[in-house]
A and B are shown apart, each in its own frame.
Chain A
Amino acid sequence: MAQTILHKADSRGITDLGWLKSYQTFCFGNYYNPDRIHFGALRVLNDDIVDGGKGFGDHPHDNMEIISIPLEGELRHEDSMGNTAVIRPGEIQMMSAGTGIYHAEYNGNKDKPAKFLQIWLYPNQLNVEPRYDQIVLEKGKALNNLQQIVSPNKEDQGVWVYQNAWFYLANFEKGFAQNYSLHNEKNGVYIFVIKGSVETANTLLEERDGLGILETDQLSIRAQNDAEFLLMEVSMTI
């Protein structure tokens, strides 16, 4: 019998700096809840809205796998490895912070907000050489399908990470259902609904709800309405 952990959208932590609104599924910054530290290797799931022209100045990271998924608008990125890039919806950005990097990220538009998911995974190797990657996703492939965007394998689809983790984006039409078989039954699955609503593990998930699912080797996901969601299979061992 699968075990589940439900995180309703309105139970998330909130940081409001005026130019930034960040909705945090797990503890981050000053948001502290001992019941919401992490889900296995998944440590951060921030749902961020950055005002036009604003952003995060130069700041460091180390020993973390950082994945950004733009939802609206564009983010301008600069880092200490010499990378300068803009990421937009339909693209995925990934950084292995490893021994340490500095980066800055700003809303690339002056007049409209940038919305994106920022996801941090504990790495399964510490102190690796820092690394940046950015990919453009094949359009339409997420329609009634789980489109792989992250894996641990360099040769596989999507970006690769130093962690036993597989991420998928999906756009399911109302009523569409699909089974998902885990790569490893000791892993967990975390489903985060971006838009619409889905049902899985006997739980209805609405916009921005999250559900952790444990102790199963497969699950079924059905769209209750047209739905966009992120499925993350992660190691439960840090």
Chain B
Amino acid sequence: MENTSILVIGTHPEILQTVLRLINNNPLWKATGTTSPEEAKDIFLKNSFDLVLIGAGIDKDTDEALRTFFRQNNDKIAIAQHYGGGSGLLYTEIAQAIHQK
């Protein structure tokens, strides 16, 4: 089975690192993350992702602009809001997003 490649964006550095660590504990998932929406665009263009998880701290306008940007550059990309900031909901969010792709 191919790895699922995930871009995570969230402005809280420690929570972002926790989310990345939790995702990368799963051998079928590979996560890259950033706290910067602008850097997220650069990373997105230079890599191939299956899913973008948008975490806390991204304001509504930036969130919408990011979603538009990602879809314009990859119309098959799955994009999901990440809630909770930890392990509790991650598995379901990723499984659901990939399933609905």
Contacts and interface: CB of A to CB of B under 8 A. Distances in A.
Given A34-B96, A60-B18, A127 B86 contact: no
Contacts of A37: 92, 96
Interface string B1-44: 00000000011101100100000000000000000000000000
Given A37-B96, A62-B85, A64-B83, A98 B18 contact: no
A202 to B, nearest CB: 31
Query: Taking each of B15, B95, B99, which has the highest tally of chain A beta carbons within 10 Å of its own beta carbon?
Result: B15
Nearest to B11: A99
Contacts of B81: 63
A59 B18 contact: yes
B43 to A, nearest CB: 21
A114 interface: no
A98 B84 CA distance: 9
Interface stretch (A22-30, A71-79, A204-212): A22-30
A126 B87 contact: no
A136 B34 CA distance: 41
Range of interface residues on B (Cβ < 8 Å): 20 to 34
Interface residues of A, number: 24
A129 to B, nearest CB: 12
Given A27-B92, A127-B56, A62 B87 contact: no
A100 B84 contact: no
A61 B84 contact: yes
Contacts of A122: 83
B59 A64 contact: no
Contacts of B95: 32, 34
Nearest to A120: B84
Contact of B87 (A29, A43, A63, A102): A29
Contacts of B14: 60, 100, 102
Given A62-B10, A63-B81, A127-B56, 12 more contacts: A27-B89, A27-B91, A32-B92, A59-B86, A62-B57, A97-B56, A97-B84, A100-B14, A120-B84, A122-B83, A127-B57, A127-B59
Interface of B: 10-12, 14-15, 18, 55-60, 81, 83-89, 91-92, 95-96, 99
